[in-house]
Structure 1
Amino acid sequence: MNLWELTAPCHFGTEAVLKREILDLGYEVTRVEDGRVTFEADAQGVADANLFLRTTERVLLKVGEVKAETFDELFEKTKALPWENYIPKNGKFWVAKANSIKSKLFSPSDIQSIMKKAIVERLKGIYGISWFPEDGPEFPIRVAFMKDVALIGIDTSGVSLHKRGYRQMTVKAPITETLASALLMLTPWKKDRILVDPFCGSGTFPIEAAMMAADMAPGLNRHFLAESWEHLIPKECWEDAREEARERVNLDIETDIQGFDIDAAAIKAARANAKMAGVDRLIHFQQRPVSELHHSKPFGFIVTNPPYGERIEEKSNLPALYREIGESYKGLDRWSMYLITAYDKAENDIGRKADKNRKIYNGMMKTYYYQFLGPRPPKKGSIKE
């Protein structure tokens, strides 16, 4: 099978987690940059990456990387790329997205238009036709300019990979499934440890944690655009990946994963989403304010996405809310707390400086992942709790 370069974009600040995931799948990482990880893989790797990676938004098949400071240069260098290696005569192709940072070419619509024309010119010459029916498989092209260098790839995923298919009901300001997974992976939490999200909203943190605990592939219950690229990726690749994913699922495990929220509608949505994901048996949801957060056992984890105060009228409530978080956390025996927020006075109101603080971009919003570290539990059998 051919070896391709695949590029997986991710939230800024979570690249190390995605790199580890790719290595764990058995593929070689060739480059790690801000917001993306590039790796080598064959056709099976395209299926594996889409089905099993928890922290990437999509998987791009890299066609090339070109430096272009003028539209003429962009046209010629795009035309020189081997598009016929990927797009068949009847393929439907378009430049679905273009973005540009610190580059002379910055108009997305102009970049899209010029590149489409260049690809058409290339394929007209290769296939000896002047008109393309575009009634076959879809090949959406994405281009990202950084300092005049464009990374050009074809999207193999289609709908963004954060859409696992289980979140039918949402509440305001939900965290994406990919970011929730990355934040969980930045903690030492394992399936045999306690996990509580006291601001669970529609249940993303508990559901993603339960899927990890059950070894349930995030893409198991959805489809991907490249499944129609049978000239590049045989059907067996997808069948093999799905068969492995199904065999790995283990719901016969004991977990202590809990989600609380003060909003009854949020709890209803969380329960419905957990059921849709197939992990409702592994999670306990309850309507409860953060002030009533308590647990009898030590060495648990809080992982949560509390309100940031995005609306001006909510900002006045934040100091009291974060003081409640601090008080509840203080009452838990040897627990760790991981909290993502854009509220810059969080540590002050919680009443403790975080042991670690990681800057992460949630979309375009700069947030802080505050990490309050509890002690490690003793090795089993060494000390009685």
Structure 2
Amino acid sequence: MHKRILYCVLDWGLGHATRSIPIIRALLDRGYEVILASDNLALDFLRTEFPSLTSYKLPSYNVEYLAENLFLNGIYNLKRIRSAIKAEHALTRHIAKKDKIDAIISDNRYGCHVAGLPSVMVTHQLQFRTGNTLQDRIGKMLISKLLKSFDHIWIPDDEERTLSGVLSMSGESRVKCIGWQSTLVSSSSSMEMHQNKRNEARKEYIIAAILSGPEPMRTTLEVEIRRQLETLDAKCALVRGVKGSPEARQEGNITVYDTLDRTEVGHLINSTSVIVCRSGYSSLMDLQTTGKKALLIPTPGQPEQKYLAERMRSIPNYVVQEQGELDIKSAMDRLANINSTNPGTVSSYLLDNAIKNLFKNTS
């Protein structure tokens, strides 16, 4: 009988869901039976990608970013986060017993573990970088406490920590890098990508803005991006990142989608000259694996995204702007004479090794 893996995904935008796809596919390819659990847009997304898999709805965190200070946001959301973690832990135990689960993999859902079962946390953040030493220490202590119940910690980065930097640094043996996790490396053939880079004039869109993340910041950014795109003499696309129709609608020079599946997102990215998006970790993995030029906009109140964006400043492919200082035209001017970089290399051996060791010393 095949071992059953319960795969739980956080719904703070679509990043946690998109980076889970290669891992879920790898598990299925190895003969594991995978059961999904998430909520809201992430659950809808995973059900679309894996329609034949059993899935469960987990409690929603309903996190809102009302301030640009991480700890103020944390205090505001603390009660609902603690409640969600407690509720998802109870539901995880119920699912594990009902469906005879053999192991649990959780992407940033800290309540999804069960004593006696191998439990994996997928995360790129083991430390905080807020600029405040005391807050960083408190944040690290909190993360360490939440991770105590997990047997393995998988970091979606290469062993050099090219993207995550100090955020994922740890000397613990249970912490393993599994490589960049992006499906977009196979969304277009290498020949097509090469031809696209040689002839930018053949791009379907000049700019594609791909939005995601918690409210109200997602809506605030969408409003400003729409306002600026409308003033440009350029063919643009906007993926709003909300529940709705995947059908395109034309609004002036902007082709608007409420949501797109991963295949469609891959086609859009590969047919666009410049991407506008948050500096979320999963977005950076997609950009690195496609070699795309991008305007990165850190989410206010998420110092992790600001740290990641600052790391990308040294790469000519990227322009970084704060949300309150957004100027798409100036970013396009800076990127106009810059060639896209070669797509990054993604190897599966790190993930393969992590999966092989999933039941090590636990069976």
Q: TM-score range by the shorter chain?
A: under 0.3
Scaled by the length of structure 1, what TM-score is found?
0.26
Scaled by the length of structure 2, what TM-score is found?
0.28
- Which structure features the higher share of strand residues? 1
- Which structure features the higher share of helix residues? 2
**Rg larger in structure:** 1
